[in-house]
Amino acid sequence: MISKFKVSVSRGTLNQIYSKIKGYPWDNVQKLDGWEHGTNYKYLRSLSKYWTSKFDWKKQEKKINSFSNFKTKVDEVEIHFIRERGSGKNATPLLLLHGWPGSIVEFLDIIKKLAHPERYGGKVEDSFDVITPSLPGFGFSNKLQKPLGPRKIARVLNKLMVKNLKYKNYIAQGGDWGSTICNWLGYDHSKSCKGIHVNCMMMRHPEGTKNKKEKEWEKRFKKDQVMQEGYRTIQATKPQSLGYSMIDSPVGVAAWILEKFYSWSDLKNDKIHETYSKDTLLTNIMIYLTTNTFSTASWIYFGRREEGGRFFPNDFKKIKVPTGIAKFPKEMLEWPPKTYLDRIFNIQQLSEFKKGGHFAALEQPDLLVNDLRKFLKCL
């Protein structure tokens, strides 16, 4: 059964969150400049002041509710999703997938561009039926009872598309965890998932690197990722311990998430506020807070470890469905050489852009939208 859903956070819940922000003991925090130690003190304090004085959650609720929102159960997992039917008679079903620490907020400003291209200078025949779920354990999808890794999530979302929504086939797009889920959709569910488009590469070939260029990339990658292993290891090994500390601290959740938006983005003048509006950042954070899903959202890291980690299984044969790759220069996970990618994907389109980072849909929405339309012609 599919039910209509409306985002509606009570005033009591909002007041409780704002009260904790206002009562945060700023004087007990070291006033370190810059971002090298973590989220910038001055920026976070300034944003928190805006949060409790000018930010309007009800306005953001209205924006989310301007779309058709639904909930449905798949394998005992309750999934929230936005559905925007495309203008064209034969609109291509598109599963649009976020990652961590993102949410459906990443896609709110591109959903209509994808569904109704004729309104934005495009052609109606390029329209998509856009399905944008909150990943299991994230946001408005119900909290999980146990961790699910990306391969299991792919199975859930394929059933969402085929059994619940009755699509015969579809394509999928994602970055961060969304890209990994796309990989598994293309690999395990190719009867229904007819193409994938990704702007991030998290999985690895079981045979490893083979030539000099690939080995040099691997060496650089490992060196670059040393500074990213802290949060990742915590969330992959002891996510519950982190959850205890975050459930009662809106400022703590904001600091944990904002540092990633700063570090993983192609910032203008190295200033986060020149790339993302305060309202966009806070709406994304508030989805974690108002749904109490910060803890269960981080379980996906634990779930991947249970599924075998970053590497495809030893009997991996290649993802055969057509694949589109969008490479943005400030992606925090450096892309492997094409020889490596060719052993994993059936690459039909590879686009390299001059600007943009990890959160492509927010940073460079038009580039991503146009690349998806272009990829549609490869199918």
The tokens for 325 are 């790759």
Residue 358 is a catalytic residue:
yes
Q: What does the pLDDT read at residue 141?
A: 97
What order do you get walking across the sheet with 128-133 strand by strand? 2-4, 68-74, 77-84, 128-133, 92-97, 170-174, 193-198, 319-327, 345-352
Q: What is the pLDDT of residues 181-206, one digit of tens each?
A: 999 999 999 999 999 999 999 999 99
Q: Coil, helix or strand for 345?
A: strand
Q: Does the pLDDT at position 273 exceed 80?
A: yes
DSSP state of 283: H
Point out the catalytic residue in the list 98, 288, 358, 371.
358
Taking a C-beta distance cutoff of 8 angstroms, is the pair 156, 77 a contact? yes
What is the C-alpha separation between 84 and 86, in angstroms, rounded?
A: 6
Mean pLDDT score, 70-82: 96
Q: Which residues, in sequence order, are CB contacts of 270 under 8 Å at separation 6+?
A: none
Q: Does the pLDDT at position 5 exceed 90?
A: yes
Strands 77-84 and 68-74: antiparallel
Task: Give 4's strand partners.
Answer: 70
Q: What is the pLDDT of residues 22-44, one digit of tens each?
A: 999 999 999 988 999 999 999 99
Q: What is the pLDDT of residues 274-284, one digit of tens each?
A: 999 999 999 99
Percent of the chain at pLDDT above 70?
Answer: 100
Do you know the residue count of the chain? 379
Q: What does the pLDDT read at residue 374?
A: 97
Q: What does the pLDDT read at residue 239?
A: 86
Mean pLDDT score, 65-76: 97
Q: What is the pLDDT of residues 156-175, one digit of tens each?
A: 999 999 999 999 999 999 99
Point out the catalytic residue in the list 126, 129, 176, 371.
176
Q: What does the pLDDT read at residue 42?
A: 95
Whole-structure pTM value: 0.97
What is the C-alpha separation between 246 and 111, in angstroms, rounded?
A: 31
**Residue 148 CB neighbour total at 10 angstroms:** 25
What is the C-alpha separation between 358 and 107, in angstroms, rounded?
A: 14
Q: What is the pLDDT of residues 206-248, one digit of tens each?
A: 999 999 999 999 999 888 887 777 888 888 888 888 888 888 9
* DSSP letters spanning 200-268: ----B-TT---SHHHHHHHHHHHHHHGGGHHHHHHHHH-HHHHHHHHTT-HHHHHHHHHHHHHHTS--B
What is the C-alpha separation between 222 and 16, in angstroms, rounded?
A: 42
Mean pLDDT score, 35-64: 97
Q: Does the pLDDT at position 137 exceed 90?
A: yes
Residue 50 is a catalytic residue:
no
Mean pLDDT score, 323-351: 97
- CATH numbers and ranges of domains, the chain: 2-376 (3.40.50.1820)
Q: What does the pLDDT read at residue 377?
A: 94
Q: What does the pLDDT read at residue 173?
A: 98
Residue 56 is a catalytic residue:
no
Cβ burial of 12 (10 Å; 0-12, 13-18, 19+) is: exposed
Point out the catalytic residue in the list 24, 288, 301, 340.
301
